[in-house]
Amino acid sequence: MPDKKHNTTETTVVVVPDGNTRQPRHPQESAAIDKDDVNFDYPEGGLEAWQQVAAGFLAQAMSWGFPTTFGIYQLYYTTTMNLPNAQVSWIGSIQTFCTYALCVVAGRLSDAGYHKTTLLVGSVLAVLGAFMTSLATEFWQILLAQGICQGIGLGLIFMPTIAVMSSYFCQRRALAISIAASGAAVGSIIFPAIVQYLVPQIGFPWASRCATFVMLLLVVVMNAIFRPRAVSPVAETVPMPWIDWSAFTEVPFLLMLVAAFALHMGLFYVASYVNAYAVSILGFDAQQAVVLLLVMNAASGPSRLVFGFVADRWCGPFNGLIFSVVMMSVMIYAWIGVVTSAQIYAYVVFFGTVLGLVMAGFASALAALSTDPAKVGVRFGMTLSLLSFATLAGPPIAGALIDRAAGSYLGAQIYGGTVLILAAAIMVCCRVSITGFRLCAKI
C-alpha cells in the first residue's frame, strides 16, 4: 500500500533543455535548472560569489535607482528652464527606452565573454551623461546627455551583472537575484533624496553633480569587485548569436514574453503618476509629493529580499511572480478609493511592497526559464529590449486617458489594473505549459 505522505508531497518540476519537463531525481533538485543537464558547476556561495551579488546590487541601484530622480529634474526643467511638460517627458521616456533597448546588446556581449568591458563602457557613459546633464542649458543638450548617453550607459551596466550572478548560483539563484534587485530600492531612495534636499542649499546644478559623484564612487567599487567566470563549456567553443532564435520555438518563453509585455504596460503607471495625483487631486505641494515616491521606494526594498527567500525555499520564482502580479493589479484597482492624505501614504507603502515582489520575481522567473546559463544574458537582453516599447508606450497611454477625462484618473486606474490581470492570466498559461495542471508544482 503506498505511503500517503509520499502521495501528498509537493511536486517539483524540472525544465530540461528541450523545453519538456520531467520528475526530479532528488527532492532537493532545482525547480528551474538541472545541473546535470547543463554540465556546469555552481559555487552557490563563497566570497567571490557574494561579491557578484554586491556588484549586481550596485548596478541595480544605478540602472533603476538613479532614473527615479527624473521627477525632480522634470520639475526643474518646467519651472526654472520653462520647458513644456510634453517636451520634457520625452527625456525620461527616451532614457528608459535606451536602458531597456541596450540590454540585447549588453546581453550578447556578456554571453560572448565581454562582461567587464561592457560594464566598464556602461559605467563611463552613465557617469559622463550625468555630469553633462548638470552643465546642460538647452533641451537638445539635456536630451543627448540625460536621455541618450545616460540611458545607454545604464542599459550596459545592468545585463553583465545578472548574467554573471546566474553563473555562480543555481539552487539559490532567486535569493541572489532578489538581494541584487533590492539595490534598485536603495538607489531610488538615495539619489532622489540627494538631489531634492541639496537643491535649496547649493542649487540644482551642484546638487545634480553631488548625486553624480555618488554614482562615480559606486561604479568604481562595482567594477573592482566584478569577477566573471565561464558560464558554460559550450559557450567557450560555440559562438552565441545576437538573438537566440531557438527561444521563440519554446512555448513557455513566448508566453512569458507576451505576459511581460502586458506587465510592463502597467508596471510603472503608479510610480509615474502618484505624485501628480497627490498634487492635483489631494492638494499636496511638490515637496510632499517627492516624499511619497521615497516612501514607495523604501517599502519595495525589504519585499525584494523576502521574495528570494520564499521562492527558493517554498514556492519557486514563477509561482511567486504570478501571485505578486495579481496583488499589484488589486492594488491599482484599490487606488480608485484613495481620497485622503492618510490613505495615499498608506497606499504607497502597500504598493511599494508589492512592487518590490514583482520586480524581484520577474528577474528570477525569467532566469529560471533559461536552462543553459550561457543563454541567460542574451535571453534577458532580448526580453528587455522588446519590453522597451512597452515602457515607452505604457505611461503615455495612461496620461492620454487622464487628459481625455479632464484630469480624472479613473480610466487610467482601470487600465493599469486590467493590463496586469491580463499579464497574470498569460503567466498562468505559461506555467501550465511547463507543469501541466499540477497545483503544487514548484517552479
252-266 per-position pLDDT tens digit = 999 999 999 999 998
pLDDT at residue 10, as a whole number: 41
46-100 per-position pLDDT tens digit = 788 899 899 999 999 998 888 877 877 877 887 788 887 667 777 887 888 888 8
pLDDT at residue 4, as a whole number: 42
Query: What is d(CA 126, CA 121) in angstroms, rounded to the nearest whole number?
Result: 9
Residue type, 77: Y
CB contact at 8 A, 380 and 231? no
> Is residue 319 pLDDT above 80, yes or no?
yes
Query: What is d(CA 318, CA 95) in angstroms, rounded to the nearest whole number?
Result: 29
Q: Please give the distance of CA 100 from its chain centroid, rounded to a whole number.
A: 10
Q: Which residues pair with 22 in a beta bridge?
A: 14
> Is residue 5 pLDDT above 60, yes or no?
no
> Is residue 370 pLDDT above 80, yes or no?
no
CB contact at 8 A, 391 and 103? no
Residue 125, C-alpha cell as written in the block: 557613459
Residue 55, C-alpha cell as written in the block: 556588484
306-315 per-position pLDDT tens digit = 887 888 788 8
pLDDT at residue 240, as a whole number: 61
Q: Which residues pair with 12 in a beta bridge?
A: 442
431-441 per-position pLDDT tens digit = 999 888 888 78
Of 347-356, 397-406, 418-427, the range with the lowest mean pLDDT is 397-406
Query: What is d(CA 379, CA 162) in angstroms, rounded to the nearest whole number?
Result: 11
Grouping H, G, I as helix, E, B as strand and the rest as coil, residue 21 is strand
Q: C-alpha angle with apex 101: 431 to 232, nearest 5 degrees?
A: 60
CB contact at 8 A, 181 and 359? yes
Query: Any residues with CB less than 8 A from the CB of 64 and at least 6 apart, and which?
Result: 158, 184, 187, 188, 359
pLDDT at residue 371, as a whole number: 67
Residue 12 carries which DSSP code? B
Tell me yes or no: is domain 44-231+246-435 CATH 1.20.1250.20.
Answer: yes
> Is residue 267 pLDDT above 80, yes or no?
yes
Task: DSSP for 27-53, please give it.
Answer: TTS-SS--HHHHT-----SSHHHHHHH
CB contact at 8 A, 370 and 35? no
Grouping H, G, I as helix, E, B as strand and the rest as coil, residue 15 is strand
> Is residue 19 pLDDT above 60, yes or no?
no
CB contact at 8 A, 213 and 195? no
> Is residue 250 pLDDT above 80, yes or no?
yes
CB contact at 8 A, 37 and 16? yes
Confidence of residue 26 (pLDDT cuts 50, 70, 90): very low
Question: Which of 117-121, 247-251, 383-387 has maximum average pLDDT?
Answer: 117-121
High-pLDDT (> 90) share of the chain, %: 32
HSE-up of 4 (CA within 13 Å, CB side)?
0
Output 390 or 20, whichever has higher pLDDT: 390
214-236 per-position pLDDT tens digit = 999 999 999 999 988 765 444 44
pLDDT at residue 378, as a whole number: 74
Query: What is d(CA 20, CA 433) in angstroms, rounded to the nearest whole number?
Result: 9
Q: C-alpha angle with apex 23: 20 to 25, nearest 5 degrees?
A: 125
113-170 per-position pLDDT tens digit = 788 999 999 999 999 999 999 998 898 999 999 999 999 999 899 888 887 887 788 7
Query: Any residues with CB less than 8 A from the CB of 365 and at least 6 apart, and which?
Result: 256, 317, 318, 320, 321
Q: Which residues pair with 442 in a beta bridge?
A: 12
